[in-house]
Structure 1
Amino acid sequence: MATVFGSTRIRPYITGDATVIASEIAENVQGTVDLFDTTVSHSISVDIDAGDYQTLKDSFQNEGVKESVPADITIDGTLISDVGIRLKGNSTLSTLSNDDGTMPGRGGGNAGADAAAAPADGAAMPEGGGMPEGGGMPDGVTMPDGVTMPEGATMPEGAAPADGTAPTDGAAMPEGGGMPGGAGMAMFGEPLSFDEPEDLPFLIDFAEYSEGRAYQGHTTLSLRPYTPALNESVSLAITEASGQATQDFTYTTYSVNDSTETTRLVVVAPDDDYANSLHDGDGVLYKTGANASFTYQGDDQTTYAEQFTQINARGTADLQPIITLLKWLDGADQAEFDAHLADYVDVDSLANYLALQNLLSNGDDMGGPGKNFYLYYDLDTKKFSVVSWDLNLALNSDSTAGAHDEVSMIPGGGGAGGGGMPQMPEGFTPPEGMEIPEGGGMPEGGPMLGNSLKDMFLDSTEFTDEYDAAYRTIYDELWASGRVLDIVDEVAASVPTSAGLTQEEIDADAAELKSRLQIRIDALADDPVVTGSS
Structure 2
Amino acid sequence: MRRRLVHRLPIPVRRHWKILAAFLAFVAVTVGVFGQARVRPYITGDTTVIASRITENVAGSVDFFDAETAHDVSIEFSQSDYDDMIAAYRDEGEKKWITADITIDGTLVTDVGVRLKGNSTLMGLRGTGGPGGGKRGIPEGMEPPVGTAMPEGRGEGGPGGMVTLSAEDPASLPLLINFDKYVAGRAYQGMTQLSVRPGSPVLNEAVSLSSTAESGQPTQRYAYTTYSVNGSPTQTRLVLEHPDEGYANSLFDSDGVLYKAKANSSFTYQGDDQTTYAEQFDQINAEGSQDLQPIISLLKWLDGASDEQFDAELADRVDVESFARYVATQNLLVNSDDMAGPGKNYYLWYDLETKKISVVSWDLNLALSGNSDAGPHDSIGMGGGARPGGADPGAAGPGGGMPGGGGGNALKERFLASEAFTSVYEDAYRDLYRQLFGSGRAVEILDEIARAVPLSDGLGAEKLTSEVEILRARLQARADALAANEVIVAG
TM-score bin, normalised by smaller chain: 0.7 to 0.9
CA RMSD, 1 decimal: 2.5
- Aligned residue number for residue 180 of structure 2: 207
2-structure distance, mates of 1:489, 1:245: 22
Question: Partner amino acid for 1:476?
Answer: R
TM-score between the two structures when normalised by the length of structure 2? 0.84
Deviation digits for residues 344-387 of structure 1 (CA, Å, limit 9, x no counterpart): 10000000000000000000000011111000000000000100
- Aligned residue number for residue 45 of structure 1: 74
Matched position secondary structure for 2:378: coil
- Aligned residue number for residue 107 of structure 1: none
Question: Partner amino acid for 1:524?
Answer: L
Query: How far off is 1:503 after superposition?
Result: 1.4
- Aligned residue number for residue 206 of structure 2: 233
Matched position secondary structure for 1:463: helix
The structure-2 alpha-carbon separation of the partners of 1:102 and 1:489, relative to structure 1 and needing over 3 Å to count, comes to same
1-structure distance, mates of 2:277, 2:252: 26
Counterpart selection for 2:481 from 506, 519, 523: 523
- Aligned residue number for residue 312 of structure 1: 285
Question: Partner amino acid for 1:178?
Answer: G
The structure-2 alpha-carbon separation of the partners of 1:367 and 1:94, relative to structure 1 and needing over 3 Å to count, comes to farther
The structure-2 alpha-carbon separation of the partners of 1:420 and 1:281, relative to structure 1 and needing over 3 Å to count, comes to closer
Say if 2:271 is the partner of 1:298. yes
- Aligned residue number for residue 178 of structure 1: 155
- Aligned residue number for residue 459 of structure 2: 501
Query: How far off is 1:96 after superposition?
Result: 3.3
Deviation digits for residues 410-449 of structure 1 (CA, Å, limit 9, x no counterpart): 3645142246688xxxxxxxxxxxxxxxxxxxxxx53221
Counterpart selection for 1:284 from 243, 257, 260: 257
Query: How far off is 1:100 after superposition?
Result: 2.9
Matched ranges for 1:332-411 at <5 A: 332-410=305-383
Say if 2:448 is the partner of 1:513. no
2-structure distance, mates of 1:364, 1:353: 13
The structure-2 alpha-carbon separation of the partners of 1:46 and 1:60, relative to structure 1 and needing over 3 Å to count, comes to same
Deviation digits for residues 291-337 of structure 1 (CA, Å, limit 9, x no counterpart): 00111111111111111001111111111111111111111122211
Deviation digits for residues 154-194 of structure 1 (CA, Å, limit 9, x no counterpart): xxxxxxxxxxxxxxxxxxxxxxx6178544x2xxx123121
Q: Which region of structure 1 is more displaced relative to structure 2, 324-333 or 225-234?
A: 324-333
Mark the runs of 5 or more structure 2 residues left unpaired by the alignment.
Answer: 1-45, 387-392
Query: How far off is 1:199 after superposition?
Result: 1.0
Query: How far off is 1:48 after superposition?
Result: 1.6
Counterpart selection for 2:222 from 241, 245, 249: 249
Counterpart selection for 2:114 from 80, 85, 103: 85
- Aligned residue number for residue 218 of structure 1: 191
Q: How many residues align?
A: 436
C-alpha contact (below 8 Å) 2:54/2:186 kept by paired residues: yes
Query: How far off is 1:138 after superposition?
Result: 7.4
TM-score between the two structures when normalised by the length of structure 1? 0.77
Query: How far off is 1:20 after superposition?
Result: 4.9
The structure-2 alpha-carbon separation of the partners of 1:248 and 1:94, relative to structure 1 and needing over 3 Å to count, comes to same
Matched position secondary structure for 1:335: helix
C-alpha contact (below 8 Å) 1:288/1:373 kept by paired residues: yes
Matched position secondary structure for 2:379: coil
2-structure distance, mates of 1:240, 1:250: 14
C-alpha contact (below 8 Å) 1:117/1:370 kept by paired residues: no
Question: Partner amino acid for 1:119?
Answer: E
Question: Partner amino acid for 2:140?
Answer: P
2-structure distance, mates of 1:418, 1:300: 23
Q: Which has the higher helix share?
A: 2
Identity %: 55
Matched position secondary structure for 2:419: coil
C-alpha contact (below 8 Å) 2:156/2:200 kept by paired residues: no
2-structure distance, mates of 1:419, 1:103: 40
Say if 2:489 is the partner of 1:468. no
The structure-2 alpha-carbon separation of the partners of 1:373 and 1:138, relative to structure 1 and needing over 3 Å to count, comes to closer
Question: Partner amino acid for 1:362?
Answer: N
Matched position secondary structure for 1:409: coil
Matched position secondary structure for 1:221: strand
2-structure distance, mates of 1:387, 1:47: 33
Deviation digits for residues 232-289 of structure 1 (CA, Å, limit 9, x no counterpart): 0110000011110011111100001111111100111011111111121101000000
Matched position secondary structure for 2:282: strand
The structure-2 alpha-carbon separation of the partners of 1:323 and 1:484, relative to structure 1 and needing over 3 Å to count, comes to same
Matched position secondary structure for 1:508: helix
- Aligned residue number for residue 10 of structure 2: none
Query: How far off is 1:117 after superposition?
Result: 6.5
Query: How far off is 1:118 after superposition?
Result: 2.4
C-alpha contact (below 8 Å) 1:21/1:313 kept by paired residues: no
2-structure distance, mates of 1:19, 1:406: 42
- Aligned residue number for residue 4 of structure 1: none
C-alpha contact (below 8 Å) 2:260/2:346 kept by paired residues: yes
Say if 2:86 is the partner of 1:35. no
Q: Which region of structure 1 is more displaced relative to structure 2, 246-255 or 59-68?
A: 59-68
Matched position secondary structure for 2:199: coil
C-alpha contact (below 8 Å) 1:293/1:419 kept by paired residues: no
Say if 2:83 is the partner of 1:54. yes
2-structure distance, mates of 1:319, 1:420: 19
Query: How far off is 1:90 after superposition?
Result: 2.7
2-structure distance, mates of 1:78, 1:49: 20
The structure-2 alpha-carbon separation of the partners of 1:471 and 1:118, relative to structure 1 and needing over 3 Å to count, comes to same
Matched position secondary structure for 1:406: strand
1-structure distance, mates of 2:132, 2:430: 42
